[in-house]
Amino acid sequence: MKFQAPRGTQDIFSPAVLAWQSLEATARRVMGRYGYAEIRTPIFESTELFTRGIGEATDIVQKEMYTFSDRKGRSLTLRPEGTAPAVRAYIEHNLGARRMPCRAWYHGPIFRYERPQAGRYRQHHQVGAELLGSPAPEADFEVIDLFVRLLLELGLADVTVRLNSVGDENSRPAFRLVLEEALRPRLSELCEDCRRRFDLNILRIFDCKVPNDRAIVASLPVMIDHLDPASKSHHDRLRSLLDGAGIRYEEDPRLVRGLDYYTRTVFEVHHPKLGAQSAVGGGGRYDNLVSECGGPPTPAVGFSSGIERLLMALEAEGCAQGAVVPPDVMVVGTDRLATAVLAATLRRHHRVDVDLMERSFGSQMKQADRSSARFALILGEDEMAGDFVTLRDMTAGTESRIPRDRLEAELATRLTEPAPNAAPKEQ
């Protein structure tokens, strides 16, 4: 039987994995500069954490979650997003007692049952950050600035923030009435999902992707025109901060994102070279999620970004994110025991390759050339008899005899020197 990876998943291996490692290293560096500590949560959680946190009316909960019962009948779900697990960990371990605000970041696999498409997999990966404890618009600004800075340092310069406010519990009830009045005469024209959303959470209609519904949504009143004074002041202050930092943004009054826990600020970041599906990530403020999950009232804001989407954007931008690192040294010889022991000794300090395929001496030299090793260490019969090694500079084509007891020091010195120009090859 021939096995294949499940639909909507992928194997990631060298050299592609090097781009992933480079992206993760950049994320770790940037997050650290902003004071965010890494958090790693389980890949499955209680199903109720997501149904309560994300929202019953969302597509994620209704259509996309991988949910199963364990052997004791408890309902568990592979995490479909990263914020709710981070909030659960914040509450369970009382992370707010250590320092406020609490800044955390994460990266790892996310699971959603949806139609696989470019950059979107049923098991995909996200990198994200959460800031818990501050209600100030400066916290929203910090998270957006952090996301934009991460993209810039990855090599994505041409990005735009799309920004909106979805209000809070003080402004939404009145807006819902306005929205219901505008939608009720056309309710029969909406898709089945949106007719259900009308009763469960009418704001979800703004997130519909059905073309006919999108045309109706374009004519609806928007939340930004119905904000209470506090939400409006918060939004205006955030815009002033973005203007002051020179972060490019566009107002998008119909942006609501795909989760119910957002309050006030929501945003997405787009990269135009990805085409119609140009979003590389987004986030917003979720001031009620901690209390809804059983914790104390705690304002919070965060973002997440799909790693596969980021890598697609980097490829479209022409930004190389990783390159194969060649070995420093290839050990070549006729005595397999001696070459294996020498390679093991040198690997304490250097990147070393050695033949394990029982190739001839000539084939080993060809392999050293193909590997782009800086040096070949030759252990032939003369070298074994004379207690020295021959060090060949694979770029310059020169050779030196090095006594065994001086080999480590000589290698350390030579590997710090710039590689010479390649010797001209014979025609």
Domain boundaries, given as residue ranges, for the chain = 16-171+227-317, 329-416
| CATH code for the domain defined by 16-171+227-317 | 3.30.930.10
Question: What is the longest distance spanned by two Cα atoms in the chain?
Answer: 96
Eight-class DSSP state of 127? E
Question: What is the pTM for the complete model shown?
Answer: 0.88
pLDDT in tens, the chain (427 residues): 899 999 999 999 988 999 999 999 999 999 999 999 999 999 999 999 999 888 877 788 888 999 999 999 999 999 999 999 999 999 999 999 989 999 999 999 999 998 887 778 999 999 999 999 999 999 999 999 999 999 999 999 889 999 999 999 898 888 889 989 998 888 888 888 888 888 888 887 887 888 888 888 888 899 999 999 999 999 999 999 999 999 999 999 989 876 778 999 999 999 988 877 788 999 999 999 999 999 999 999 999 999 999 999 998 888 766 777 899 999 999 999 999 999 999 999 999 999 999 999 999 999 999 999 999 999 999 999 898 999 999 999 999 999 999 999 999 999 988 877 654 444 4
- Confirm or reject CATH 3.30.565.10 for domain 329-416, answering yes or no: no
Q: How far apart are CA 145 and CA 254, in angstroms?
A: 22
- Determine whether 243 is exposed, middle or buried from the number of CB atoms within 10 Å of its CB (0-12, 13-18, 19+): exposed
Q: How far is CA 283 from CA 24, 105, 130, 144, 301, in A?
A: 19, 13, 10, 9, 8
